[in-house]
Amino acid sequence: MNNHLKALREDRGWTQGTLADRLGVSRQTVNALETGRYDPALPLAFRIARLFGQPIEAIFIPSEEPDAPARG
């Protein structure tokens, strides 16, 4: 999953460590999020969205559109 976390962080003038402290996670986790190596669980995703004042879907973008569920 791609995301705009790095751009949003840099726009606020925060280091990865600052963002980590604001989210209550490690700097390593912020780095993994920004590089797309880790997709956050919902509670962390909501914390990120709340911190940046953006909806989750505006920050995180699926790599591909998920398949529609089968009907019938």
Partner 1 sequence: MPGVRRFQWTKTGVTSTLDTIAARRQTGGMTSKLDRQDRSEGDRARARAYHREFWPGIVAYAVVLTGVLLWGDLDGQSPWRFLWAVLPVIPALWIVRAVLRHVRRSDDYQRLLLLQGFGGGFAVAMIASVTLAFLEIAGLGLTGTGWLIYGAGMLGWIVTGAVAGRR
Q: Which residues bind partner 1 (CB under 8 A)?
A: 4, 7-11, 13-18, 20-21, 24-29, 31-33, 37-38, 40-41, 44, 52-55, 57-59, 61-62, 65
- To partner 1, the closest distance from the beta carbon of 5 in angstroms equals 11
- To partner 1, the closest distance from the beta carbon of 10 in angstroms equals 5
Rounded Cα distance between 2 and 60, Å, is 6
Nearer to partner 1, 21 or 72 (CB): 21
Rounded Cα distance between 42 and 10, Å, is 23
Rounded Cα distance between 48 and 19, Å, is 9
Nearer to partner 1, 11 or 46 (CB): 11
The H or E element that residue 22 is part of is: helix 16-23
